[in-house]
Structure 1
Amino acid sequence: MIEIKVPELAESITEGTVASWLKQPGDHVEKGEAIVELETDKVNIEVPADESGTLDEQLAGEGDTVQVGQVIARLSSGSGGGTAVATKTKTETATEAATAPAETKVETVGEAKKVERREEHVASPGKGPIATPAARKLAREKGIDLTAVQTNDPIGRINVHDVTNHESKPAPTQAPQTPKAPAAAPQPAASGKDEERIKMTRRRQTIASRLVEVQQTAAMLTTFNEIDMSAVMALRKRRQEKFVKDNDVKLGFMSFFTKAAVAALKRMPYLNAEIQGNEIVLKKYYDIGIAVSAPDGLVVPVVREADRKNFGEIEKDILHLADKARNNKLGLSDLTGGTFTITNGGVFGSLLSTPILNGPQVAILGMHSIQLRPIAIDAETMENRPMMYVALSYDHRIVDGREAVTFLKHIKDMIEDPEQLLFEA
């Protein structure tokens, strides 16, 4: 019997959630083939089989929380076929479980052998229903008696989905039994209108908790400016065709802002830092995080050593990381170690916003949509110019207003005169 365990995920990650089973009991699995997809705080990870075999058991359901090192599946060695355990449909198994007494089950094997199911899958008298740790925790929080929860699991195990479904069912008409424990906090009364309750993914929960943590621990402040995008737009128009020919990628605005941010960070080093206890750690390298909207929420993959890369290399990195993000292919190495972040709400039409810090970083630059606005050129002349509002949120504990405003002014000057970027070391 081959055990499939939750692998080491990362130094700071000790658990994950079963996102989906890629193989079902009875399926043959080749060595190195993915069996299950786990969702962690940052990325999704596929767990492969160390050896070839047939999947016999799934020991965790989709949505269950699992720990590093925990056994979540078992394979029988061999290539499958006649020696594999005969599988049954969920409906057949559930029907047999409902009519048969609670005793050790026996399944027929291809060569007239018999295999006993493990005792852990059958509830013993007096021990109560079988449930995953996550399901028990949710039931305690909701004040739900697990003996009243129904499940379609072939072995009668109750998971989180069963508890959630039970909670959404109307209360039984018979007289309620005397509670054995103090009543849980009352749930909000149903509105009578069409509603849907969706469990937050692990990543969304992590995003929520970290954003709240940043707002509670950092002295966050935001300063604003506006940039005339005329020069950059004209440069892109002149150079786009040759740039695409040389680099096989389009010249976007993000590479200009990345290069400008690196130059400004070199002049204002406290914005490229973090706080560790009573110390300020100034970073002498420039790994710039680029916020990307992914299916499961915002992620911030990192462009490494942005100060050493040209416009083409930066644009390629951004395109590659964005594709990985949208396809849930980002690895932990793609997301860790950033020193400064740029987010572009303008791609969604945002005119102005106050970005939240990406802790433990102490500053984040927000770009916005470009709009034609009348601008005073001099005392007598007005022109319509493509203007962009930019915002810099920063941690006032180590970044003073003078530094923040000056940093944003450097960004403005370099974007309005992009030739300056050619002379930045």
Structure 2
Amino acid sequence: MKTFSLPDLGEGLHEATVVEWYITNAQAVSQGTVIMAVETAKAIVDIPAPEDLFFIEALCPTNALVKVGAALFTYRTTEDKIERHPPSATTSVSVVGSLVEANTTASTQHFILGKDRFNTDEQRQAQQNLSASTRLLSISSDRQPQQLTGARLSMSQHMTHAQQTVALVTIFDEVYVKQSSPQGILTQVINGLIASCRQSPLTNAWLIDNSLIVHEHIHLGIAIDSPHGLFVPVIPKVDTLSERQISEKIKELKQQTQAHQLRAEQLQGATITVSNFGVFAGRFATPMVMPPQVAILGIGRLYRHNTLTNKGDIKTRLVIPLSFSFDHRALTGGEAAKFLATLIEKLQTPLSRRSNKKPQV
């Protein structure tokens, strides 16, 4: 009998979640037939039969999180002989089996650590407290907990690492834009971000081992929410694209994200990120910087504000709330504030003065 283990998935991935088994026990399988599917932080991967085999048993249930190298299933090749010597019903075939036989009454007994130190009344009170806690837990837990898997597990791990690593600071501001429609705001903000990164190049950098790596081009991460979790696909060299090209690329990435069709290479290499959380709700937030990046820009929910002009007229303007988070280990407060000031200045520039041509690099 042979055991098949989870192979190296590459790209720095060390674990996966079992999504589905396509084969049942005691089934003959041809080489290349898909036996199971697992989900990594990047994608869903089918695992085929490594050779012609007779499937014996799945060792991991659906939704189980398994590490690279962990046993997935057992099988025998079509050339193996079937052993017909089943173990005796009264004899244990493993250490675990021996332990179970030796402790057949363990599941029906209740033990209190250090009970010899307490008198009978104290032991009885402790047992009553334990029973009350158990009943309360059973009442409050009316639903089974859902194990984090795939993209959501990856998000949890990355966010935990970021929270423990980054010296996070967020500054907030708002900008009036001379536009009657909120359509196309994201593209305008990205163009302003490009100008701000050129003015403050340290914001378009990676912090690795106390070294700041400043990038020549801007590889922009776009945070996109989906039913599968949060994804941040990257637009490489966004500073070389026109507004129309940027808009088309964002639309394409959104469609791929919702369809769960992003490739692993599309999620790598971001030098700065934009989160347009305001499309759902909220004017301001504290977006988390994901190492090795040192900055992320959040766009809040747009709203209209009435202002009084010098002539006494009431004018309605569109307002964009901005939240700029940065890693204070890499950037000073002044550098972050200058970035945001440049962005506000660019967004306030009348549309007629902006060029839709490809930026010069």
Alignment TM class, shorter chain as reference:
0.7 to 0.9
Name the amino acid aligned to 2:61: G
What is the SS of the residue equivalent to 1:338?
coil
Alignment of 1:174-253 (within 5 A): 176-178=109-111, 189-190=136-137, 192-193=139-140, 195-202=142-149, 203-231=151-179, 233=181, 252-253=184-185
The count of corresponding residues between Structure 1 and Structure 2 is: 332
Question: Normalized against structure 2, the TM-score is what?
Answer: 0.76
Residue ranges of structure 2 left out of the alignment (5+ in a row): 116-125
Corresponding position: 1:291 with 2:223: yes
Q: 1:274 aligns with which of 173, 183, 206?
A: 206
Residue 262 of structure 2 corresponds to 330
How far off is 1:302 after superposition?
Answer: 1.2
Contact 1:255/1:314 (8 A) holds in 2:
yes
1:57 is matched with 57
Alignment correspondent of 1:404 = 336
Native 8 Å contact 1:44 1:329 kept in 2: no
Q: Establish whether residue 18 from structure 1 lines up as the match of residue 3 from structure 2.
A: no
Cα gap change, 1:146 to 1:220, in 2 (>3 Å)? farther
Q: Conserved in 1, the CA contact under 8 Å of 2:177 and 2:320?
A: yes
Aligned to 1:320: 252
RMSD across aligned positions (CA): 3.8
Q: Is the 8 A contact 1:201 1:296 kept in 2?
A: no
Task: Give, in angstroms, the shift of residue 200 of structure 1.
Answer: 3.2
Aligned partner of 2:96 in structure 1 is 128
Query: Structure 1 stretch 53-62 or stretch 364-373: which is displaced more?
Result: 53-62
Higher RCO, Cα 8 Å, sep 6+: 2
Give the structure 1 partner of residue 290 of structure 2: 358
Residue identity in the other structure for 1:395: D
Structure 1 SS opposite 2:19: strand
Q: CA deviation at 1:300?
A: 1.1
Deviations 1:173-212 (A, max 9, x none): x9634479999xx878427346323233144344234323
In the TM superposition, 1:83-102 aligns within 5 A as: none
Q: Is 2:354 the counterpart of 1:420? A: yes
Q: Is the 8 A contact 2:179 2:318 kept in 1?
A: no
Q: Once the two structures are superposed, what CA deviation does each residue of 1:274-298 show, in whole Å capped at 9, x if it has no partner?
A: 2222211112221111111122421
Deviations 1:128-154 (A, max 9, x none): 159xxxxxxxxxxxxxx989xxxxxxx
Q: Distance in 1 between matches of 2:114 and 2:147?
A: 28
2:190 matched to which residue of 1? 258
Instruction: Assess if the C-alpha contact under 8 Å between 2:256 and 2:262 holds in 1.
Output: yes
Distance 1:232 1:367, change over 3 A: farther
TM-score after normalising by structure 1? 0.65
Deviation at 1:346, TM superposition (A): 1.2
Structure 1 gap segments, 5+ residues each: 84-112, 131-144, 148-171, 237-251
Quick one: structure 1 residues 117 and 38, their matched pair in 2 at CA, closer, same or farther if it must change by over 3 Å?
Answer: farther
Same amino acid, percent of matched pairs: 24
- The one-letter amino acid paired with 1:399 is L
2:323 is equivalent to residue 368 of structure 1:
no
